[in-house]
Chains A and B, each alone.
Chain A
Amino acid sequence: MINTKVKVLILRVAGTNCEYETKFAFELCGAHVDCLHINKLIVTKTKMFEYDILVLPGGFSYGDDISSGKVLANELKNILGDQIRKFALSGKPIIGICNGFQVLVKMGLLPYSDRCDQVSTLYYNDSGQFECRWIYLRIEQESNCIWTKNLPNIITLPVAHGEGKFIPINIQLIDDLNINHQVVLRYSSQDGNIPDYPLNPNGSISRIAGICNKQGNVFGLMPHPERYVLALQHPVRNNVKEEYGYGKIVFQNAVNFCK
């Protein structure tokens, strides 16, 4: 019998620690998931194209040494850069969650997948410390991001990072991201207004929490959707009448997109 399940590749390196939650989330959405160490992918570079979705999960790749995501970003850019760019430009979904977002930004796949040049960064939180809590996010409904369809205007997800402050190379980039509807998520108060610390956990410029490329298939975000796929994962069970959390919608969107 031919397996028609959508195939997901979760890339793993030393320090990755969210791959199992992410695998569970995709499997909950009906996908087939493989966690593959980067060294195996380097040996068989074309193996990536056997998959429909590529995931750079959260964690602390290479111990966050030098700066978060930097070493893995360089490794991917220099060794697998052509393959990953081709994967992105083919329209297949790619997601970078937290540390994965830092990698996508620092290797330049976001916000412009065709250029692969770093034009923004995720820098130390304004608080100077690791921030770990549930926060509110405003979904930019005009965005063409394939990952965030069918989400309500305000959602809640957990964040856990020390370097999540989105900084563009110049203010023109923010204008371009807004014009192209590439800003997907912004930190928000519960009622959708501009939040203060700690609801804005890092001081991101324009309160940016997640962006996508122009095509909408490459998505990076600091919050962890894989940690809220079941309603019971929320600390105050505020969505307990529903079976699933908002995070599941994110993964389901990508799986449905590939069917």
Chain B
Amino acid sequence: MFKIEVYTKINFRNSYAEHILFDINTTGLALIDKLYSSYLYAIDGNLTIRQINIIATELLIDKITEGYYCKNNNLTENEFSFNKTDHSIFCIEIWYKNGVTDTVAETVTKAVKDLGIMNKISVKRGYKYYLYSHRQILQETVKIIVSTCLCNVLIQDYIIKQHK
């Protein structure tokens, strides 16, 4: 399985992340200083690295404003960038639960065929958030933030990783 993470390039404004940060900080949990967000696509099928790169560059990213990481290993392997002043850094991945209709994934499956890649594939679409804070934050507090602002726990699962 390939996991593609689509991120906004550093010199472009990630207004979605700014909006989410505003939401978190106005729920009474004003603990987060920075937030980055990215989209995740888990693509399974008999695909080559070259085909994956075509899917990523031609379909999943906006060439002007976005870039991507690609891995073909475990989904919870994360990269952390951080400052020494950050006391708490969390990475959260959110995926739909099994059985929940993933409409974006269905569209990706159709769009991959438009690229001329006819292999049978299965796709999952997820979200990834990086939370940074100058304060010490308990994982339990992050769970409240995630379930309040980032994840609909009825239909989505989340994984929290903390940078030690």
Please report which residues of chain B, range 1-19, place their CB below 8 angstroms from some CB of chain A when the two chains form the complex. Answer: 12-16, 18-19
Q: Which residues of A contact B22 (CB under 8 A)?
A: 128
Q: CB < 8 Å: which of A65, A79, A123, A169 contacts B114?
A: A79
Check if B18 sits within 8 Å of A121, measured CB to CB. Answer: no
Check if B18 sits within 8 Å of A128, measured CB to CB. Answer: yes
Majority SS at the chain B contact face:
helix
Q: CB < 8 Å: which of A65, A71, A78, A119 contacts B116?
A: A78
- A124-149 vs B, CB cutoff 8 Å, 1 = contact: the mask equals 11111100000000000000000000
Q: Which residues of B contact A215 (CB under 8 A)?
A: none
- Check: B78 CB closer than 8 A to any chain A CB: no
- A52-80 vs B, CB cutoff 8 Å, 1 = contact: the mask equals 00000000001101110011001100110
Q: CB < 8 Å: which of A62, A71, A127 contacts B15?
A: A127
A62-B59 Cα distance, complex, nearest whole Å: 13
Given A66-B104, A126-B13, A127-B15, A71-B110 contact (CB < 8 Å): yes
Interface centre among B22, B62, B115, B116 (most CB of A within 10 A): B62
Q: Which residues of A contact B16 (CB under 8 A)?
A: 124, 128
Q: Give how many B residues have a beta carbon under 8 Å from the other chain's beta carbons.
A: 24
Closest to A78 in B: B114
Check if B15 sits within 8 Å of A66, measured CB to CB. Answer: no
Q: CB < 8 Å: which of A63, A66, A128, A203 contacts B19?
A: A128
- Check: A189 CB closer than 8 A to any chain B CB: no
Q: Which residues of B contact A63 (CB under 8 A)?
A: 103-104, 107
Q: CB < 8 Å: which of A74, A120, A128, A203 contacts B58?
A: A74
CB distance from B147 to the nearest CB of A (A): 21
A223-B95 Cα distance, complex, nearest whole Å: 35
Q: Total number of A-B contacts with CB less than 8 angstroms?
A: 70
- B90-119 vs A, CB cutoff 8 Å, 1 = contact: the mask equals 000000000000011001101100111000
Closest to B65 in A: A123
- Check: A118 CB closer than 8 A to any chain B CB: yes
Q: Give how many A residues have a beta carbon under 8 Å from the other chain's beta carbons.
A: 27
Q: CB < 8 Å: which of B14, B62, B107 contacts A65?
A: B107
Q: Which residues of A contact B110 (CB under 8 A)?
A: 62, 71
Closest to B114 in A: A75
- Check: B151 CB closer than 8 A to any chain A CB: no
Q: Which residues of A contact B14 (CB under 8 A)?
A: 124
Please report which residues of chain A, range 213-236, place their CB below 8 angstroms from some CB of chain B when the two chains form the complex. Answer: none
Known: A66-B107, A126-B15. 4 other contacts (CB 8 A): A62-B111, A70-B62, A124-B16, A167-B12
Cβ contacts A to B, 15 pairs, < 8 Å:
A62-B107, A63-B104, A65-B103, A66-B111, A71-B110, A71-B111, A121-B62, A123-B12, A126-B15, A127-B15, A127-B19, A128-B15, A128-B18, A129-B19, A203-B13
| Chain A interface residues (CB < 8 Å from chain B) | 62-63, 65-67, 70-71, 74-75, 78-79, 106, 118-121, 123-129, 167-169, 203
